[in-house]
Structure 1
Amino acid sequence: MLAPEHNSHSLFRAMDMWNHIRRIIQFYDDEEDNESVLIFATLLEEQNFYQKRRCRDSILQGETYVMEILNGHRERCNENFRMYPEVFRTLCSTLKGIGLKDSKFLTVYEQVAIFLLTLSHNQRNRVVAERFQHSTETISRHFHAVLHVVCQLGTHIIAPPDFFVIPNKIRESSRFFPYFKNCVGAIDGTHIPATLPASTQLPFHGRKGYTTQNVMVVCDFDMRFTYVLAGWEGSANDSRILKECIENEAMNFPAPPAGKYYLVDSGYVNKPGYLAPFRGHTYHFQEYRRTRQPRGREEVFNHRHSSLRNIIERCFGLLKMRFAILRAMPPYKFSTQVLIVMACCTLHNFIRNQHQSDDLFYSNNPPQSDGEDDEIVEHVPSAQLREMEQLRNTIADRIWNSL
């Protein structure tokens, strides 16, 4: 007898199947063949109507798994979700406060765990579905729900720096103070792999040899992102992206006030508000470390400049180390890929705010540059170029004379 929950629907399906099998039997005259078909029909019926099973039938259901991780050894949470249990709980509480809610079958804890496991280990939907014992549709729906709430959180915690306070990293170091006392942060771009349809790939092919989105980031000297702009094509020039940000008020770029400036590499123009190194001289910090000590006024300036601006390279390295999805982006819609970058930067800031002693912020892994600096394509009035050239020469002279 069929189980009660299958009653009418399953009965009709069984009748249809048997009618189909009878039609098959009519094609067989041999009794042995008829017997084979009947055996096959019996097995098929038992499989489809008498022994139905759930696909996700693990004893360790999603919520049980999450609570086991949170209440177990602290490192288990850090390894799985890339943050410690107290930070995880605070994140869930914060996201609840801005609109994330328990669903009928999933708590906020489980939703956030699904999201973090996907970002941290670049797991596909089917793997996450098996881990949490839900359908792939449920996993995808809740992933996108948390993604949008986290990006909403980003509008609050990715905030401009305090332009009128000298950063501790500069004030407390004789190598940087008072030479760079008016510096408020660093700017650079990084390339994140992008997955796109063949018809739209061409603009996203840059010097990396594969499709990427160029992400421009501003950070302070406490390793917090203060501005993030994602979604530009991989072929876009860093200087062009910055120029667009400055000129387009809708982008809300935190331009420095008069007398203050960001550090930029030689791929940007040395203009008011943006201090670049001397071109044509050794610059990158790693080059000095591998070969020799800086020589001459320009190289000494470049070495100090690179040592201070190195903070943004460390931020990029840490971000990609913590969130594996940024190293090989899955084939989401491109708009979703952009939001994923924003969400990872938001989580980076959240962890920095909640857990200053997180081990990754003090990792000994050297930061990796994205490659050669771009050629400058921006035209700047000569008066502005002379103004920043004079400031750079003044700082270089003061550093050189202090040695």
Structure 2
Amino acid sequence: MARCPKQRKKVVIAAVSMYLELLLNFIKLLVQYYDALEAEGAQMLEHVCSWETPIGRQLARNSFMRCIVSHGDISCTMLVRMNCRTFQKLCKLLRDEGGLRCTWNIEIDEMVAIFLYTIAHNEKNRQLQVTFRRSGETICRVIKSVLRSVLKLHSILLRKPKPVLENSDDPKWKHFKNCLGALDGTIVNVRATKENQERYRTRKGMY
């Protein structure tokens, strides 16, 4: 006996409702699975980017070097006491004339940055290890290598002064005759900007 149209309609509606409920449950499972994967991926990424891992340390070094060479002259001057253009010229000069060579895990610009940062801020080896994410042995070796290269540039960077004769007829010489400058405690007065006063502080704590 054939079903009446009303009963057939009820069966179709019940079947469609069941399939929709199954589909919704399946979508919920997919969403939960995706959330679990995303949370696990975030934990894995956090672990990979941790400063205690090699990749994390490399990311920290790259970020610090970008602050020096890519974020403008202000940050570069604050960190290594020279602008970006001068820093790049010094790196090239140390490579071409000073014989400085990079190693398999550290480039010349980072070596020069470590050296300049050390003498600019008078930082200790342990503090440099945290700043540059390098071992103490690497920091010490890099500073010595750059220092040897800098000393090789003495003929380029340091010019021998021409002696002034006692009977010099230069009108400017009479004001500085027998003046030893800093050797006898003579200080040349300068007017430094407020943000640069620390760089002009004398050994007696005066500007």
**TM-based fold match above 0.5:** yes
Conservation of the 8 A alpha-carbon contact between 1:125 and 1:140: yes
Whether 2:89 is the aligned partner of 1:90: answer: yes
CA–CA distance in structure 1, aligned partners of residues 55 and 136 of structure 2: 11
Q: Which residue pairs with 1:145 in the alignment?
A: 145
Q: Is the 8 A contact 2:67 2:76 kept in 1?
A: no
- 1:148 and 1:77 map into 2 onto residues whose CA distance is 23
Indicate the residue corresponding to 1:115 in structure 2. Answer: 115
Which structure would you say has the larger Rg? Answer: 2
Question: Does residue 1:127 correspond to 2:127, yes or no?
Answer: yes
Query: Do the aligned partners of residues 364 and 162 (structure 1) sit closer, same or farther apart at CA in structure 2, a change above 3 Å counting?
Result: farther
Taking only the aligned residue pairs, the percentage that are identical comes to 23
The answer for the alignment partner of 1:75 in structure 2 is 74
**Partner letter of residue 133 of structure 2?**
Q
Whole-angstrom CA distance in 2 between matches of 1:82 and 1:183: 33
Specify the SS of the correspondent of 1:180: helix
Any gaps of 5 or more consecutive residues in structure 1? 1-52, 166-170, 172-176, 190-264, 266-283, 285-309, 318-357, 371-403
Gaps of 5+ in 2: 1-51
Q: Give the secondary structure class of the aligned counterpart of 2:161.
A: coil
1:133–1:366 distance in 2 versus 1, CA, 3 Å: closer
Q: Secondary structure at the match of 2:152?
A: helix
| Partner Cα distance (1:134, 1:63) in 2 | 12
Deviations, residues 250-308 of structure 1 (Å, cap 9, x unaligned): xxxxxxxxxxxxxxx4xxxxxxxxxxxxxxxxxx8xxxxxxxxxxxxxxxxxxxxxxxx
Q: Which has the higher helix share?
A: 2
AA at the equivalent of 2:121: H
Alpha-carbon separation, structure 2, partners of 1:162 and 1:359: 33
- CA distance in 2 between partners of 1:147 and 1:56 (Å): 29
Distance 1:148 1:58 in 2: 27
Q: Give 1:86's aligned amino acid.
A: R
Instruction: Summarize the Cα distance change of 1:102–1:365 in structure 2 as closer, same or farther, 3 Å threshold.
Output: closer
State the alpha-carbon separation in 2 of the partners of residues 111 and 366 from structure 1. 26
Q: Secondary structure at the match of 1:156?
A: helix
Aligned length: 146
Deviation at 1:75, TM superposition (A): 0.8
Amino acid aligned to 1:107: E
In structure 1, what is the equivalent of residue 105 of structure 2? Answer: 105
Quote the offset at 1:133 in angstroms: 1.7
Instruction: State how far apart, in whole Å, the 2-side matches of 1:364 and 1:61 are.
Output: 28
Would the aligned equivalents of 1:77 and 1:85 in 2 still touch at CA under 8 Å?
yes
Instruction: Tell me the secondary structure at the aligned position of residue 53 of structure 2.
Output: coil
Structure with the larger RCO, 1 or 2 (CA within 8 Å, 6+ apart): 1
Q: How big is the alpha-carbon RMSD for the aligned residues of Structure 1 and Structure 2? A: 3.8
TM superposition shift of 1:153: 1.6
Query: Residues 72 and 84 of structure 2 are in contact (CA less than 8 Å); yes or no, is this contact kept in structure 1?
Result: no
Per the normalisation by structure 1, the TM-score is 0.31
Q: Tell me if structure 2 keeps the 8 A contact 1:69–1:77.
A: yes
Alpha-carbon shift at residue 68 of structure 1 (Å): 3.2
| Equivalent-residue separation in structure 1 for 2:141 and 2:154 (angstroms) | 20
Q: Distance in 1 between matches of 2:73 and 2:86?
A: 11
- The answer to whether the 8 Å contact 2:114/2:143 transfers is yes
Q: Normalized per residue, which structure has more strand? A: 1
